[in-house]
Amino acid sequence: MNWLSDNINLLALIAAVVIVVLTVLVAGKYIKQMKTDRSTGELAKENWDGIGEYKNELPSGWAYTFLGAMIWGLWYFAIGYPVNGYSQIGEYNEEVAVHTKMFESKWANADRQTLQEMGEGIYLVQCAPCHGIAGDGMDAKAADLTVWGSAAGVLDTIKNGSKGLGYPMGEMPAGLLDGDSAKRVASYVANGMKGEKPAEFAACAGCHGVDGKGMGGMAPDLTKYGTPSFVADVLNRGKKGYIGTMVSFKGRLTPIQEKAVGTYILSLSRGE
Ligand code: HEC
Ligand code: HEC
Q: Using alpha carbons, list the distances in angstroms from residue 160 to 117, 182, 237.
A: 32, 12, 20
The one-digit pLDDT tens for each residue of the chain (272 residues) are: 676 778 888 899 999 999 999 999 999 999 998 888 887 888 888 889 989 888 888 889 999 999 999 999 999 999 988 887 788 898 999 999 999 999 999 999 999 999 999 999 999 999 999 999 999 999 999 999 999 999 999 999 999 999 999 999 999 999 999 999 999 999 999 999 998 999 999 999 999 999 999 999 999 999 999 999 999 999 999 999 999 999 999 999 999 999 999 999 999 998 76
First to last CA, the chain: 67
Cα 140 to Cα 146: distance, rounded to the nearest angstrom: 12
Cα 202 from chain centre: 43
In this prediction, residue 39 carries a pLDDT of 76
Mutating to test ligand 2, I would choose from 120, 131, 167, 172 the residue with most ligand atoms within 8 A of its C-beta, which is 131
Ligand nearest to the CA of 186: 1
Pocket of ligand 1 (CB under 6 A): 154, 157-158, 162-165, 167, 169-170, 172-173, 176-177, 185, 189, 203-204, 206-208, 219-220, 222, 225
Longest Cα–Cα distance of the chain, Å, equals: 115
**What burial letters (b/e) apply to 142-177, b meaning 16+ CB within 10 Å?**
bbbbbbbbbbbbbbbbbeeebbbbebeeeebeeebb
CA-proximal residue: ligand 2, atom 11 (nearest) = 142
Cα 64 to Cα 66: distance, rounded to the nearest angstrom: 5
In this prediction, residue 80 carries a pLDDT of 85
Residue 86 Rama label (left phi>0; alpha psi -120 to 50; beta):
beta
Report CA(144)–ligand 1 centroid distance (Å): 17
Cα 205 to Cα 222: distance, rounded to the nearest angstrom: 10
Cα 46 from chain centre: 60
CA-proximal residue: ligand 2, atom 42 (nearest) = 246
* 219-222-228 Cα angle (round to 5): 110
Report CA(190)–ligand 1 centroid distance (Å): 13
Mutating to test ligand 2, I would choose from 154, 239, 267 the residue with most ligand atoms within 8 A of its C-beta, which is 239
Q: Using alpha carbons, list the distances in angstroms from residue 87 to 40, 82, 91, 97.
A: 53, 10, 6, 15
Mutating to test ligand 2, I would choose from 120, 122, 124, 127 the residue with most ligand atoms within 8 A of its C-beta, which is 127
Cα 125 from chain centre: 15
CA-proximal residue: ligand 2, atom 31 (nearest) = 143
Ligand nearest to the CA of 162: 1
Q: Using alpha carbons, list the distances in angstroms from residue 149 to 34, 81, 82, 126, 223.
A: 91, 51, 49, 19, 12
Q: Which of 215, 214, 149, 217 is nearest to 186 (CA)?
A: 149
Cα 114 to Cα 107: distance, rounded to the nearest angstrom: 9
Cα 260 to Cα 262: distance, rounded to the nearest angstrom: 5
